[in-house]
Amino acid sequence: MVSVISYDGRGLLEDFSRTRERVSADSNLQLHGSSWCHSTTFLPHQTNHNHWADIQRFSETLAGPLPLLHTITIDLHQDPGDPEAMISPSAHLFSGAVNLKEFLFRSKIPSSLNHFVFPNLTMFEFWAGNEGFYASQLLDFLDASPMLRTVTLVFADSILPENIPQERVVVLPNVEIIFMLVNEGGAGYRIAAHMSCPSTRLTSFLHWRAFGDAPPEEIFPNPVPWDAIARQYSGSPPEEVTFELEIAQGPTIRSCLKFHSPDETDLRLDFRVSRRDFDDALMPLVVQEMYSEVLLQASRIIRNHPLVANISLLHFYHSSLILGSAQVRCLANEVRQLFASLGPLEELGIYSCDVRPYLASFFTSQESYKTDEPILFPPTKKLVISHPLYPSRAECVTAIVGLARSQHARGVPFKHVTVYMENPPAEMAARLQPWVGEAHCKHNAYVVRDGLPI
């Protein structure tokens, strides 16, 4: 039997006190702080009150054992200007719900999680809005919930400043899925570094923001929190890394950096940025700058992974955007460092990209692309280049052949090279063949990955 209660004000407390026995007998009770209604007794009510004091009074009304209560949802939509909105309860709430399995807590004011203790909780969803929240309270709550399996954390605004000891790490041994959405990436990543989920199958961080005057400094985690996250959210070293970047209408930039491990666990770092009011004439420059910064930081994340040497499959897929010469040189220097950090690869894929940051050392006629030192590709068995972007088709073909020749000269030739493009030059495969085991240049109107159009 499922009971749904919604409540918005104190006026219904007398009604609830008369139905306490009926509520405690339900196998699954959902409490919605925005409007309480019992599915078999009441119709929804709309009033103008939903304060901490109301939640406390309702908890007192349900005082005593609630062994069959499995789900609680609380929504607090208080006016921060209302003094009563900041009243905090003084004791543990709904303490009789000893077998609670699911707890959803959404609040638009700084809210205290310390007033909830559910040791048998398996699913927790926490939304912190407008006025921020204290990270230490979240860590305390998680520490007291060792049975959690699914955790969703949404931080719509700032995280209030406080000093959490760097060595503090809350271990969640049973969590299998954890999702975190943050508006301010840096603070969210630092909180994540204080958590460890060694049994997780999926860890997903989504950093969202609007276009600003400049790209954020911390699109992805800085080295210190990243080192902790990479170690604490995976049961085995990553085997495959995929980076995807696209520009959608709006414009919106979407990127996903995924680390996949042989035990079928995934660690995802997603980034979304969409436009706000901005001079349309400047928008292409803003998009290009943001696009380049996302690429730059994603490459740093890969090479700063503490187990980067275990990566054997590496794929880059990003949208059709031709970069400026200065951006090509900056990214090429970063790619050079990335490739230097890698061990031998089974496969390297470059899809629908401006290939100059990867092949800058082989565009011999363009001094503006030159890096501080030559780009040395790691030993790679299979290279796939699908629909490369380039200002000059002839220079791009020459650069790909130059790369193959360079690998051969270094004693680490590619075993397989496959190039997909529209109407590839008839002689391209023949130019590659002396330097690689097998060369295939195929016509295809679509970007191809894993042999399939995407």
**Which of 71, 101, 119 is where one domain is finished?**
119
Question: Average pLDDT for residues 199-216, to the nearest whole number?
Answer: 82
25-39, 45-59, 388-402, range with greatest mean pLDDT = 388-402
Would you say residue 353 lies in a domain?
Answer: yes
Q: Above 80 in pLDDT, residue 288?
A: no
In whole angstroms, what is the distance from residue 19 CA to residue 3 CA?
12
Both structure tokens of 29: 């009770």
Average confidence (pLDDT) over 248-277: 85
How far is it, in rounded angstroms, from Cα 116 to Cα 92? 5
Q: Domain end: 119, 153, 169, which one?
A: 119
Q: For position 155, what pLDDT does the model report?
A: 81
The residue from 65, 90, 119 where one domain ends is 119
Fill in the amino acid letter for 392.
S
Q: Per the domain annotation, does 391 fall within a domain?
A: yes
Residue 363 banded pLDDT, cuts 50, 70, 90: confident
Query: 77, 95, 212: which is closest to 156 by C-alpha?
Result: 77
Count the domains in the chain.
Answer: 2
Question: Residue 45: what pLDDT?
Answer: 30
Residue 258 lies in a domain: no
Q: What's the confidence (pLDDT) of residue 243?
A: 95
| 86 compared with 330, residue with greater pLDDT | 330
Neighbours of 111 (CB within 10 A): 26
Task: Give the domain range for residue 22.
Answer: 1-119
Between 185 and 49, the more confident residue is 185
Candidate from 21-35, 148-162, 262-276, 298-312 with smallest mean pLDDT: 21-35
Domain contains 208: no
Using omega within 30 degrees of 0 as the cis cutoff, is the peptide bond preceding 391 cis? no
Which of 74-88, 239-253, 417-431 has the largest mean confidence?
A: 417-431
Q: Is residue 424 part of a domain?
A: yes
Mean local confidence (pLDDT), 355-371: 81
Instruction: Assess whether pLDDT exceeds 90 at residue 279.
Output: no
Task: pLDDT band for 242, please (50, 70, 90 cuts).
Answer: very high
| CA distances for 140 relative to 115, 143, 164, 168, 331, angstroms | 11, 5, 11, 11, 42
In a domain, 386, yes or no: yes
Question: DSSP letter at 331?
Answer: H
Give the confidence band of 84 by pLDDT, cuts at 50, 70, 90: low
Domain presence at residue 251 = no
Average pLDDT over residues 167-182: 94
| pLDDT for the residue 380 | 98
Query: What integer is the mean pLDDT of 53-57?
Result: 78
Q: Is residue 387 part of a domain?
A: yes
pLDDT grade, residue 195 (50/70/90)? very high
- Cα angle: 81, vertex 86, 90; to 5 degrees: 170
Which of 109-113, 244-248, 335-339, 366-370 is predicted most confidently? Answer: 335-339
State mean pLDDT over 347-362.
92
Contact 207, 179 (CB under 8 A): no
Q: Indicate the burial class of 384 (C-beta count within 10 angstroms; 0-12, 13-18, 19 or more).
A: buried
